[in-house]
């Protein structure tokens, strides 16, 4: 289960005391001290432990709670999300701002997201990303912009896209697959376009990071094939097979974004939150993890996430380790040391993606019915110095605090 599907992702606090849903927020002097030094009022970037929270917007998972709210209602909901992050003693929010080849800002390239007004391309009457950056920084929070590179729509009907959508203007860029629409990663012109569309936000806003999740080539759908044969025929010369060519396409996206971010705005980080298994040991005895996962990022999503870390192409990686300690096919306790060893000595920071949404969820293993499971994760990870923090999926569960698990991990680790 991945954190951009329907369900399948030491806070420096500035400002006055407040209460959100019964959670007490305490004030702090960090921003005032920065201003006294002649600074901008910004709290310095996170230098030590990452304590992050994903805010998903696709199909209105976390924000807005539903499409069609007024601008004031949407703004109030967004600020409430940031206040929850402060209340939980977090220091970063990862906000999904381009869920489906659309935008949560007045983009020069793509339409306003339908998840704001209910109508793709309709101006919501405010700037969600601009507000998020400003209000996060007021609270001493980093704001990471979360972008999906290739997903166009959660349906397969191009006619439902706004008339001037780039995918309608360039139907040759589009691949329908698994009931959804995707841009074809094998086309150089697609990679160039999506990079420009995402870098537009970096140019306009003081983002602390650009963030991708686990969607590169789409997850496999039984009985279907992703039709990129024509692109492979045109661009695949010199590769041993289509899989190697696809991995190179993804590599080119990552390298291009890394370069573009650095050229666009100094100091903006680039982070990726992949599916938690790169390859199983049975597939790659020398390098794979001791897992039996049904999906392997390298083989199924054509994303060589291990290489990106080892070669320091990205600033941080936050694998989605959405499994409990002791799970036979993907044991959290085995994946932590595997990822720590991958990150060791690379200069790429390692954060761990945590599945708050699984706590107390019916049908999950018994471990997820234990309020202490998440706290145990942080205790275990603390034993590896390569682990620099955690990001929690997702905002609605950080607020609702299933089984009191969030309160426990905050009390145990973030007090």
pLDDT, tens digit (0-9, with 9 covering 90-100), for 157-168: 999 999 999 999
Predicted TM-score (pTM) of the model is 0.90
* Residue 279's pLDDT band (cuts 50, 70, 90): very high
Return the H-helix or E-strand segment holding 152: strand 151-153
Numbers of helices and strands, H then E, in the chain: 13, 13
Give the Å distances, CA to CA, from 14 to 41, 143, 206, 270: 9, 15, 18, 25
Chain Cα centroid distance, residue 101: 15
Check residue 317 and give its pLDDT: 98
List the one residue out of 399, 183, 239, 219 whose CA is nearest residue 320: 219
Chain Cα centroid distance, residue 404: 24
Check residue 415 and give its pLDDT: 87
Concatenated DSSP letters of 352-407: EEEEGGGTT-TTS-GGGGSTTHHHHHHHHHTT-TTEEEEEEE-HHHHHH-GGGHHH
pLDDT for residue 2 is more than 90: no
pLDDT for residue 271 is more than 60: yes
Check residue 275 and give its pLDDT: 98
Check residue 281 and give its pLDDT: 98
Cβ atoms of 220 and 279 closer than 8 Å: no
Q: Read off the pLDDT of residues 289-344 as tens digits, 9 standing for 90 and up.
A: 999 999 999 999 999 999 999 999 999 999 999 999 999 999 999 999 999 999 99
pLDDT for residue 98 is more than 90: yes
Q: What distance in Å separates the CA atoms of residue 225 and residue 119, rounded to the nearest whole number?
A: 31
33-47, 60-74, 220-234: the lowest-pLDDT one: 33-47
Alpha helices, H only, 48-174: 71-87, 114-117, 128-138, 166-169
What mean pLDDT comes out for the span 199-204? 98
Q: Which residues pair with 393 in a beta bridge?
A: 355
Q: Which residues contact 93 (CB under 8 A, 6 or more apart)?
A: 52, 53, 55, 81, 82, 85, 132, 136, 141, 142, 143, 144, 395
pLDDT for residue 392 is more than 60: yes
Q: Which residues contact 16 (CB under 8 A, 6 or more apart)?
A: 27
Q: What distance in Å separates the CA atoms of residue 40 and residue 349, rounded to the nearest whole number?
A: 26
Strand (E) positions, 179-313? 180-183, 209-212, 269-272
pLDDT for residue 277 is more than 50: yes
Check residue 23 and give its pLDDT: 39
What mean pLDDT comes out for the span 198-203? 98
What mean pLDDT comes out for the span 378-392? 98
Cβ atoms of 306 and 314 closer than 8 Å: no
């Amino acid at each position: 289960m991945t954190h951009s599907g329907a369900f399948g992702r030491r806070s420096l606090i500035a400002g006055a005391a407040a209460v959100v849903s019964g959670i007490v927020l305490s004030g702090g002097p960090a921003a005032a001290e920065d201003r006294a030094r002649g600074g901008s009022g910004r709290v310095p970037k996170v230098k030590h432990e990452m304590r992050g929270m994903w805010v998903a917007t696709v199909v209105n998972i976390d924000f807005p709670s539903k499409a069609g709210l007024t601008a004031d209602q949407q703004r109030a909901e967004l600020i409430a999300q940031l206040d929850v992050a402060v209340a939980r003693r977090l220091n970063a929010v990862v906000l999904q701002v381009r869920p489906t080849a659309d935008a949560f800002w007045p983009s020069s390239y793509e339409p306003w997201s339908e998840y704001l007004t209910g109508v793709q391309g309709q101006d919501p009457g405010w700037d969600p990303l601009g507000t998020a950056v400003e209000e996060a920084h007021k609270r001493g929070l980093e704001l990471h912009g979360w972008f999906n590179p290739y997903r166009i729509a959660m349906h397969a009907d191009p006619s439902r896209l706004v008339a001037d959508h780039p995918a309608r203007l360039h139907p040759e860029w589009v691949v329908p697959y698994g009931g959804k629409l995707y841009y074809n990663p094998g086309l150089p012109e697609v990679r160039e376009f999506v990079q420009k569309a995402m870098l537009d936000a970096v140019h306009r806003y003081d983002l602390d990071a650009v963030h991708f999740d686990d969607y590169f080539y789409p997850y496999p759908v039984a009985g279907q094939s992703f039709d990129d044969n024509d692109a492979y025929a045109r661009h695949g010369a010199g590769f041993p097979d289509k899989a190697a060519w696809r991995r190179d396409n993804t590599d080119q996206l990552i390298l291009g974004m890394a370069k573009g971010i650095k050229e666009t705005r100094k100091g903006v980080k680039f982070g990726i939150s992949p599916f938690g298994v790169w390859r199983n040991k049975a597939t790659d005895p020398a390098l794979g993890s001791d897992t039996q996962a049904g999906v392997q990022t390298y083989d199924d999503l054509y994303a060589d996430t291990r290489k990106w870390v080892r070669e320091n192409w990205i600033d941080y990686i936050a694998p989605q380790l959405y499994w409990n300690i002791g799970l036979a096919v993907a044991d959290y306790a085995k994946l932590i040391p595997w990822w720590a060893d991958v990150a060791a000595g690379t200069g790429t920071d390692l954060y761990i993606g945590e599945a708050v949404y699984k706590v107390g969820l019916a049908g999950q293993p018994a471990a997820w019915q234990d309020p202490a499971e998440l706290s145990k994760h942080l205790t275990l990870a603390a034993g590896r110095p390569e682990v620099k923090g955690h990001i929690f999926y997702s905002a609605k569960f950080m607020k609702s605090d299933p089984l009191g698990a969030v309160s426990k991990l905050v009390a145990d680790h973030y007090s």
